[in-house]
């Protein structure tokens, strides 16, 4: 294997990891765009997506396509319930309180998932076989990676369109900027926030489901992915969907190039170091706009 082939493989690997970070990052963005908070329970949405896929496909033998939508709906419902219950009834609407409330809720969800599914990692079958595909540049990928790329890109396009061009999407953005003003012009703020939690629940589940055949699933897979996804969102510019893709891809490629060319022990350290430098040079992320509010 010559050097250019190695590089090609590093890039392909980086892109496929990056696509996953990106889809997680978009889940963070949705809730941020409607409420301004960081939803740490996003991590649990990922785990729940993977585990419910396992339950449906492996244990109950339901076809993958149907399972996919059932899982999405289930986790979306959990997201909605989270908003309907604790988030809505929280006495304070201060952003930092809500952020830590999501940490509390994420602990509750994780603990429950551990009781339901146990602690073991489980595998989920790939959507369309596991025969490696050889690319002309000398790198190989799995069919599942193509699914990851495709779904991530599709999600990005749909969300971008939704937030830019539809009334509902604009209303959600307005809610994040100024709740009172949004309410004054007739936006149902409650519904927007509820919708954002349901949507990001669905998105978290999708992330968990498409990654499960590659990386296996367990009650706590979401923590590390969630952390990296958050980093990707910040790197790209928090709240920006194209930025999420960019951030995810940069982070993924940094990690795999770091592991392949520099040192695999320090690959995460390298990635975070670059992230810090980018933030110091561009304090709102690569594609972010100014953020005036304070956590």
Partner 1 sequence: MQGKASVVLAISLAVCFMVGSPLCLGAEPIKIAGIFALTGRAAHIGTAQRDAVLIAIDEVNEQGGINGRKLEMVMEDTESSPTKAVMALKKILEAEDVVAIIGPTLTGTAMAMRGFIEQERIPAFMHSGGDVILKAPLKKDDPTSRPKWTFKSPYKAADAMGKICEYMRKQGISKIGFLYSNEGFGKDGLKNVKVQAPKYGVEVVAEEAFEPKDVDMTAQLTRMNAKGVDGIIAWTVGPAMGIIPKNVKQLGIKAPLFECHGAGDPIFWKVAGEAGEGVMMPSTKIVVADQLPDSDPQKKKIQAYVKAYREKFNREPGTMVAYGADAAYIVVDAIKKVGADRAKLRDAIENTQGYLGISGIYNITPEDHNGLSMKDIVMIKATKGGWELMD
Partner 2 sequence: MENRNGCKLVDLPESTRRKDRFSFTLLVVIIVLIPVLVESKYYLIVLNIIGLNTIVVVGLNLLIGFAGQISLGHAAFFGLGSYFSGILTANYGFPHWPAMVVAVLATGAIAYLIGYPALKLRGHYLVMATLGFGIIINILMGELEQFTGGHDGLIGIPPLSVGGLIFDNDLKNFYLIWAFVFFCMLVARNILDSRVGRALRAIHGSEVAANSLGVNTSSYKVKVFVLSAMFASVSGSLYAHYITFISPSTYDFYYSIQVVTMVIVGGMGSLWGSLFGAAVLSFISEALHVAKQYHIIAYGVFLSLILMFLPEGVLVGIQRFYQSKKLQRRITIEQRGLTR
The yes or no reply on residue 118 touching partner 1 (CB under 8 A) is: yes
Contact positions with partner 1 (CB under 8 A) in 121-140: 121-123, 125, 130, 132, 140
Give least dist CB 88 to partner 2, A.
10
Least Cα distance to 139 among 271, 279, 15 occurs for 15
* DSSP string for 177-218: H-HHHHHHTT--HHHHHHHHHHHHHHHHHHHHHHHHHHH-B-
Strand partners, 216: none
**Binder of partner 2 out of 5, 108, 121, 216 (CB under 8 A):** 108
The yes or no reply on residue 114 touching partner 1 (CB under 8 A) is: yes
Own/partner contacts of 168-177, CB < 8 Å, gap of 24 or more, are: 168/195, 172/33, 172/34, 172/196, 173/33, 173/34, 175/34, 175/35, 176/32, 176/33, 176/34, 176/35, 176/36, 176/239
Question: Which lies closer to partner 2 via its Cβ, residue 151 or residue 245?
Answer: 245
The yes or no reply on residue 294 touching partner 2 (CB under 8 A) is: yes
**Taking CB under 8 A as the rule, which mask of x and - marks residues 251-270 in contact with partner 1?**
----xxx-xx---xx-xx--
Contact positions with partner 2 (CB under 8 A) in 253-272: 265-266, 268-269, 272
Among all chains, which residue has been given the structure tokens 């991590």?
43
Distance CA 289, CA 172 (A): 17
Q: Which of partner 2, partner 1, none lies near 285, with the C-beta cut-off 5 to 8 A by kind? A: partner 2
**Binder of partner 1 out of 221, 247, 249, 275 (CB under 8 A):** 221
Question: Which lies closer to partner 1 via its Cβ, residue 171 or residue 244?
Answer: 244
What are the CA-CA distances from residue 164 to residues 33, 127, 159, 179, 180 (Å)? 12, 31, 8, 18, 21
Inter-residue contact 42 to 27 (CB < 8 Å):
yes
**Binder of partner 2 out of 30, 38, 148, 257 (CB under 8 A):** 38
Q: Which two tokens stand for residue 155?
A: 């999600």
Grouping H, G, I as helix, E, B as strand and the rest as coil, residue 129 is strand
Contact positions with partner 1 (CB under 8 A) in 145-204: none
**Binder of partner 2 out of 107, 123, 129, 132 (CB under 8 A):** 107
- Largest CA-CA distance found in the chain, in angstroms, rounded: 64
Residue ranges binding partner 1 (CB under 8 A): 1, 3, 6, 9-10, 13-14, 16-17, 20, 111, 114, 118-123, 125, 130, 132, 140-142, 211, 214-216, 218, 220-221, 223-225, 255-257, 259-260, 264-265, 267-268
Q: Which residues of this protein are in contact with partner 2, per CB under 8 A?
A: 32, 38, 86, 89-92, 94, 96-97, 100-101, 103-112, 114-115, 227, 230-231, 234, 238, 265-266, 268-269, 272-273, 275-276, 279-280, 283-285, 291-295
């Amino acid at each position: 294997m010559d050097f250019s082939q190695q590089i090609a493989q590093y890039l392909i690997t980086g892109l496929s990891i990056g696509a996953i970070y990106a889809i997680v990052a978009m889940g963070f963005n949705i809730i941020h765009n409607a409420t301004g908070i960081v939803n740490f329970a996003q991590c649990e949405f990922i785990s729940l997506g993977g585990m419910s896929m396992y339950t449906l496909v492996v244990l109950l033998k339901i076809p993958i396509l149907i399972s996919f939508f059932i899982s999405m709906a289930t986790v979306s419902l959990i997201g909605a319930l989270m908003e309907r219950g604790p988030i809505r009834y929280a006495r304070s609407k201060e952003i930092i309180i809500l952020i830590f409330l999501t940490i509390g809720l994420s602990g509750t969800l994780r603990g429950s998932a551990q009781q339901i599914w146990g602690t073991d990692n489980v595998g989920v079958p790939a959507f369309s076989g596991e025969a490696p595909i050889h690319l002309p540049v000398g790198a190989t990928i799995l069919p599942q990676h193509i699914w990851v790329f495709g779904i991530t890109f599709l999600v990005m396009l749909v969300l971008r369109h939704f937030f830019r061009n539809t009334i509902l999407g604009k209303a959600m953005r307005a809610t994040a900027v100024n709740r009172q003003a949004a309410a004054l012009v007739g936006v149902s703020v409650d519904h927007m926030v509820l919708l954002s939690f349901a949507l990001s629940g669905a998105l978290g589940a999708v992330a968990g489901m498409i990654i499960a055949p590659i990386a296996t699933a367990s009650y706590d897979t979401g923590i590390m992915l969630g952390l990296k996804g958050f980093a990707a969102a910040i790197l790209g510019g928090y709240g920006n969907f194209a930025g999420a893709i960019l951030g995810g891809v940069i982070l993924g490629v940094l990690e795999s190039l770091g592991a392949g060319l520099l040192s695999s022990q320090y690959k995460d350290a390298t990635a975070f170091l670059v992230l810090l430098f980018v933030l110091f040079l561009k304090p709102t992320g690569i594609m972010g706009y100014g953020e005036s509010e304070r956590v």
